Structure 1
Amino acid sequence: MPAHLWLPPSGHGPGVLVLQEIFGVSDYIQRRCADLAALGYVVLAPEIYWRIGTLRVDESREDFLEQALALVQRVDWDAALADSVTALATLRARPEVAGGVGVAGFCFGGGLAFHVAAAAEPDVLVSYYGSALPRLLDLAPRVTAPSLHHFGTDDAYIPMHQVEAIRDAVAGPEVEFHLHPGAGHAFDNPHPVFHHPQAATSAWATTTRFLADHLPVR
């Protein structure tokens, strides 16, 4: 399975597994990985689409969203979960990693990260608008890691009644759940179709603080 690795300036630190949105390990996802590395984390981003022979969607095409939605339908979820759990174990075993390992995901990857957290017990979970979460809520009792969830209140793919059901299911003493007013799905993605600057800025500030609290860089 192809994967991308970023090392922090120190060359070592806690690990963060980053799981892609439906467009693949896009330029945007790679920038977020670089942002995490700059904070002191060892970051690994596996190419989850590798089994279907396509690594990413061409976001310069007008039909890029339709492309991505068709592509994600071809993913074998169980295989993607197994690959992600393997990637987490690989990251944890790397000599550069010290101080724990977390998992973070965006969109498709947000739901996948939640399932990984239920299956493999990472030290922390960050999920941005996890699109699969409505069908994974029976796993919530198995997610014991400190967890952070972000959702926009205007998400066309995950309506508010589902967001509220997710919030109720995952609630716990070490769970933070943030709603971003006026933001739609994929609000952190800088593409003009999705981007909500205020929500993106606020969510990233919360994410960096949450990681500093629960997966500190020494």
Structure 2
Amino acid sequence: MPDTHATPAPALTQGEIDQRVFDLYDEYCHGRLDRRSFLQQAAAVTVGGLAMAQALLPRYAQAQTVSFTDERIKARYVDYPSPGGTSGTMRGYLVHPNRPGPFPAVLVIHENRGLNPYIEDVARRLAAEGFLALAPDGLSPVGGYPGNDDDGRDLQARLDQNKLRTDMRNGALHLRAHPLSSGKLGVTGFCWGGTTTNALAASLGAQVAAAAPFYGAAPETAAVAAIRSPLLIHYAEHDERINALWPAFEAALRVTGTPYAMHLYPGTQHGFHNNSTPRYQDAAATLAWNRTLAHFRQHLA
């Protein structure tokens, strides 16, 4: 099978981008800088900083690794109830292998900007590997992912965050009970989605059979005792804000005896799995993805 992480080379490689620009991009991605401020500050911090900043903006055409017309899968958008959520109804991207089920199920939780093309591709990658995948769009009650990350980030930031997390929880429950689901549920997510993966592992307890958060914030220490699923935790080396939460998280996991494995990927940035920007690091992304597939195959079988 071909390497489904391969992507055309970006205009600038990761090694050509100043770490200070990466740090500014992290601020921009998390809504602490708008696009104009990000570009201006990047231009001021180093020679060529503007070009570096522009190279970091996502190019989603490069991120597609499994086509929506791939004969191995079937994909469609679905609507389902979400009581207690933003509007009471949710929409998501449902993908499954093109053969009779049931299949082990994996919820795919997006970043802080809605269901963008990269996350849809992750759902297709899972389906191509034999899983039933659902990627909810947290922005669907307000019109859905708007087609660009800036507007998506603004829309998501305006939502009631407790209701948004309820929408993700309802997506997990809908997927677990889906006719094509084996009843075994895994959860994975990226950035905000990684944080929410940890939160769902705690709030859903034994209903989650395995979880694999990518560079997500740790749950509150008091909530860790409710986690029943084995965790596969992926961190980037250069991600100080997220990584600072790990010692307390690990200590709580040890107290509760929750099975876990944590991997810190050398030389990587927050978002290293996202192959639409130079933050992507092929070797680390491929290794993390293969570990995730193995984790789900082991615990969702």
Question: TM-score per shorter chain, which class?
Answer: 0.7 to 0.9
Matched, 1:166 2:253: no
User: Matches of 2:113 and 2:165 in 1, distance apart?
Assistant: 17
Say which SS state the counterpart of residue 182 (structure 1) adopts: strand
For residue 209 of structure 2, what is the aligned residue in structure 1? Answer: 123
| CA root-mean-square deviation | 2.0
Letter matched to residue 191 of structure 2: C
Q: How many residues align?
A: 207
| Contact 2:106–2:134 (8 Å) recurs in 1 | yes
Say which SS state the counterpart of residue 87 (structure 1) adopts: helix
Matched, 1:89 2:173: yes
Unaligned runs of 5+ in 2: 1-89
Assess, with a 3 A threshold, how the Cα gap between structure 1 residues 75 and 167 changes in structure 2: closer, same or farther. farther
What is the TM-score normalised by the length of structure 1? 0.85
Matched, 1:190 2:281: no
Task: Provide runs of 4+ in structure 1 moved above 4 Å.
Answer: none
Unaligned runs of 5+ in 1: none
Matched, 1:22 2:116: no
Say which SS state the counterpart of residue 202 (structure 1) adopts: helix
For residue 186 of structure 2, what is the aligned residue in structure 1? Answer: 102
| Contact 1:148–1:176 (8 Å) recurs in 2 | yes
Assess, with a 3 A threshold, how the Cα gap between structure 1 residues 147 and 99 changes in structure 2: closer, same or farther. same
1:76-95 Cα deviation digits (max 9, x unpaired):
22112211221112112211
Percent identity for Structure 1 against Structure 2: 30
Say which SS state the counterpart of residue 16 (structure 1) adopts: strand
For residue 145 of structure 1, what is the aligned residue in structure 2? Answer: 229
Assess, with a 3 A threshold, how the Cα gap between structure 1 residues 173 and 166 changes in structure 2: closer, same or farther. closer
Say which SS state the counterpart of residue 195 (structure 1) adopts: coil
| Contact 1:24–1:57 (8 Å) recurs in 2 | no
User: Matches of 1:206 and 1:102 in 2, distance apart?
Assistant: 14
Letter matched to residue 201 of structure 1: T
What is the TM-score normalised by the length of structure 2? 0.63
User: Matches of 1:139 and 1:41 in 2, distance apart?
Assistant: 28
Shift of 1:43: 0.7
